[in-house]
Amino acid sequence: MDQLISQTNDIIEGLVTDLRDGVGNEESVDNLHSVLANQVPYIVGTYKAQQWLGDEAFNAIGRIDEWEQDNFGEVTTDFSDPEKVANLTYYLIAEELLNKSATYSSLWDKQNDVNGPTVVWLEQANLNQIADELEALKA
C-alpha cells in the first residue's frame, strides 16, 4: 500500500506542476484530463516503469483490465510492457484525482448540464484552484 501512496503522491505532484505551469489553460474542461495525462508519457523506459510500479504492478494490471472491460468490452493493453502499464495507471489515477476536485467537478457538471451543455473554457485561476485541491489530497 505504501507504493500506491507514493505513486498517487507522484501523480499529484506532476498534475499540480503542470496545472501551475498553465497546462490546460484555455482548454475546455472536458479536455483537461487528456491534456494532463495523455499528451506526453509520464514514464519513459522499462526499468523506470518497473521501479515505479513496484509491488503494485498486479494491482495496476487489475485496474487497467477492469477499466478497459467497462469502457471497451475488451482488454487491449500489452501487460508485458511496463511502460504501457505505468502510463495507463497514471492516466487512470489522474482521472480519479481530478474527479475529487470540487472545482473540476463543478465545472464538468456545468459543461455537461442536461438543460443545455455549454463549453467551459479553463482559465489559470481555475487551474490554480484545482491544483490547490489536488495538493490537499496528498498523503
Instruction: Tell me which residue range forms the domain holding 76.
Output: 2-135
pTM of the model: 0.89
Q: State the total domains in the chain.
A: 1
Q: What is the DSSP string of 55-112?
A: GGHHHHHHHHHHHHHHHHSS----TT-HHHHHHHHHHHHHHHHHHT-HHHHHHHHHHT
Bridge partners for 28 per DSSP: 121
Residues 82-108 have pLDDT tens digits of 999 999 999 999 999 999 999 999 999
State whether residue 23 is helix, strand or coil: coil
Cell matching residue 70: 467497462
Residue 101, helix vs strand vs coil: coil
Supply the pLDDT for residue 1: 54
